[in-house]
Amino acid sequence: MGEFVRVEVDGQIATIRLDRPKMNALNAQVSGEIAAAAAEVSGDGAIRAVIVYGGERVFAAGADIKEMAPLGVAEMAAYAARLQAALNDVAGIPKPVIAAITGYALGGGLELALCADFRVLGESAKVGQPEIQLGVIPGAGGTQRLPRLIGPAKAKDLIFTGRHVAAAEALAIGLADKVVPDAEVYQAARDMAAQYANGPAVALRAAKQAIDRGLEVDLATGLDIERLHFASLYATEDQKNGMRSFMENGPGKAVFE
Ligand code: HXC
């Protein structure tokens, strides 16, 4: 349990809760605590889905500019490496992960949200990569994960201008998956998480890894990854249960452990 990042478990769903007033700025300590939280939820088999949440007011306004501003080149390289590694740990959580976003998700805050599988935004949420306005560029995955999600031209528009994107536009460009009234963001994320929490955990992990690894490699290698994961699922009880249930009861009726 970190000072600024808590893991709250409720049933099969864990919430990684950022809580560093006023804006959940991601300083070096928060980076370390995010990595620890990701390891904790990844390693606990009872947790079947994860929400990343910054509270009712703000998701995260980015890396801590006051901490970062005085650093030299070498220090900054190490700082960026630590934040990138922490966010990689979030992206690598082997279960469905949903970012529940109210208020601002800017810079490193949006980069954290990009490491989730899905993003639920409140109606008045604002997201963006404003680093260009600080004379720098996104440094925690934004130049890589954003274009993979929304395409290069839209990503360049956001990164070149640094503008804040409202929830409706985020939905239209695929940066948000769902927009709900602000007060309903966390519950909407829980509902989405609950949908996956009852699924076959090993197959969900295989699907996530096949998709995410596949996006990093050529098609032939991706198909190899897919096929190996597919075959390995024949070692699971879920496969036996899922296919038996289809043959006995028809589609969509299987209940997984
Ligand atoms: C440190 C921050 C901060 C940040 C806000 N604050 N964002 N402190 N780092 N990223 C602080 C403000 O200084 C202020 O502190 C308090 O939070 C409230 O902010 P205000 O600006 O007064 O509030 P508001 O007018 O509502 O504007 C909110 C805001 C704005 C739109 C989020 O604060 C803003 O634009 N922040 C910077 C966003 C940004 O550029 N993010 C990218 C960071 S770079 P006081 O003490 O005055 O109350 C990055 C790189 C990642 O993320 C990669 C690194 C390797």
ipTM rounded to 2 decimals: 0.98
Q: What is the mean pLDDT of the chain?
A: 97
In angstroms, rounded to a whole number, what is the distance separating the alpha carbons of residues 191 and 11?
A: 13
pTM above 0.95, yes or no: yes
Q: Which residue out of 66, 106, 131 has the highest number of ligand 1 atoms within 8 Å of its CB and is therefore the one to mutate?
A: 106
Domain spans of the chain?
5-197, 201-249
Cβ-Cβ contacts under 8 Å for 195 (sequence gap 6 or more): none
For the CA of 140, the closest atom of ligand 1 is 53
The correct answer on CATH 3.40.50.300 for the domain covering 5-197 is no
Among the four given CATH numbers 1.10.12.10, 3.40.190.150, 3.40.50.2000, 3.30.70.2860, the one describing domain 201-249: 1.10.12.10
Condensed to tens digits (0 to 9), the pLDDT of residues 112-155 reads 999 999 999 999 999 999 999 999 999 999 999 999 999 999 99
The answer to whether 184 touches 123, Cβ cutoff 8 Å, is no
Contacts of 231-239 spanning 24+ positions with Cβ under 8 A = 232/206, 233/202, 233/203, 233/206, 236/200, 236/202, 236/203, 238/200, 238/201, 238/202, 238/203, 239/200, 239/203
Nearest residue CA, atom 30 of ligand 1?
61
The answer to whether 47 touches 11, Cβ cutoff 8 Å, is no
- How many residues would you count in the chain? 257
Condensed to tens digits (0 to 9), the pLDDT of residues 2-55 reads 999 999 999 999 999 999 999 999 999 999 999 999 999 999 999 999 999 999
Cβ atoms < 10 Å from Cβ of 257:
8
23 C-alpha vs ligand 1 centroid, how far in Å? 7
State how far Cα 177 lies from the chain centre: 12
Nearest residue CA, atom 35 of ligand 1?
61
184 classed as catalytic: no
Condensed to tens digits (0 to 9), the pLDDT of residues 170-207 reads 999 999 999 999 999 999 999 999 999 999 999 999 99
pLDDT given for residue 188 in this prediction: 98
Ramachandran bin of 223, using left for φ above 0, alpha for ψ from -120 to 50, beta for the remaining angles: alpha
